[in-house]
Homo-oligomer: A and B are copies of this chain.
Amino acid sequence: MEAHADVQPDETSTIADRVFGKLRQAIVEGNIPPGSKISEPEMAARYGISRGPLREAMRRLESANLVERRPNLGARVITLSSEQLLEIYVIREALEGLAARLAAERMSAAAIADLKALLEQHRAEIAREYWQAYFQKEGDMDFHYRIVQGSGNQRLIGILCDDLYHLARMYRCKFGMVSNRARDALKEHELIVDAIAERDGELAELMMRRHIRASRRNVERRLATETTTQHRTDS
């Protein structure tokens, strides 16, 4: 995990950088609830720092669209609407489709082999019924990260890994999206990797777009039932 372009917890980095990473993680995981106000004195005290670096970190969170800030009123964690979640899926479909095509053209043979090994691991975990814990967490993301990295397009990697994925993860935590389609998703992942291994960029893009569209439709279904049943605990 954390194999992507994240803020390194290096000791040489600044306080603002480190606290940015911590705050982002706290927001994405829901430890700081959506819509809640972030008080500068309170946060500075919690992390044992001054308000200067904290404000720098807040600026970066603002740029990352994780907090909304209004002058003299302070910053709040963004509120999560289902429309915005679907907006992200629409963009991911276009961008990750592109990433899959580029990956098919440029990914190294070694990276493809690693990808296949990752899928093998997923397959085993699903067979052992561990998929709940795994796919609920970061398993699916790992796969997507690698494809995007394989595209070799630095700007594309930045947009997806530094911005959209954190938002997607946040929304998933918020709505409690436990993937109930792990087996289907794995099958789709396999088709994508096969296309990449065959260096068939066109097919890889098609399959990736289809995969994300299916994922979006799954979310749409859940959102629909969520709103009709009005927070019924489906246990």
Q: A84-B155, A98-B91, A155-B87 are in contact. Are A13 and B64 (CB under 8 A)?
A: no
- Give CA–CA (A164, B163) in the complex, Å: 14
* Residue contact B156 to A91, C-beta cutoff 8 Å: yes
* Residue contact A155 to B88, C-beta cutoff 8 Å: yes
Contacts of A98 in B (CB 8 A): 90-91, 94
* Residue contact B17 to A71, C-beta cutoff 8 Å: yes
User: A62 near B: Cβ within 8 Å?
Assistant: yes
User: Binary interface profile of A, 75-98, with partner B (CB < 8 Å = 1, else 0)?
Assistant: 000000000100110110011011
Q: Which of A122-162 contact B (CB under 8 A)?
A: 153-156, 158-159
A73 CB, min distance to chain B CBs, angstroms? 11
Taking CB as reference atom, which chain B residue is nearest A205?
A: B94
Number of interface residues, chain A, beta carbon within 8 A: 34
A213 CB, min distance to chain B CBs, angstroms? 13
Which segment, of A27-35, A53-61, A189-197, faces chain B?
A53-61
Number of copies: 2
Taking CB as reference atom, which chain B residue is nearest A57?
A: B59
Of B13, B59, B156, the contact of A16 (CB 8 Å cutoff): B59
Of B17, B72, B154, the contact of A84 (CB 8 Å cutoff): B154
Q: Which of A155-208 contact B (CB under 8 A)?
A: 155-156, 158-159, 163-164
Contacts of A229 in B (CB 8 A): none
Taking CB as reference atom, which chain B residue is nearest A13?
A: B71
Contacts of A56 in B (CB 8 A): 55-56, 59
Of B63, B87, B156, the contact of A64 (CB 8 Å cutoff): B63
Contacts of A17 in B (CB 8 A): 71
User: A233 near B: Cβ within 8 Å?
Assistant: no
* Residue contact B52 to A91, C-beta cutoff 8 Å: no
* Residue contact B71 to A156, C-beta cutoff 8 Å: no
Contacts of A230 in B (CB 8 A): none
Contacts of A64 in B (CB 8 A): 63
Contacts of A59 in B (CB 8 A): 16, 56, 59-60, 63
Q: Which A-B residue pairs are the 4 nearest by beta carbons?
A: A63-B63, A59-B59, A94-B98, A87-B155
14 A-B residue pairs with CB within 8 Å: A12-B72, A55-B56, A59-B59, A59-B60, A63-B64, A65-B158, A87-B153, A88-B155, A90-B98, A91-B153, A91-B159, A94-B94, A94-B98, A95-B95
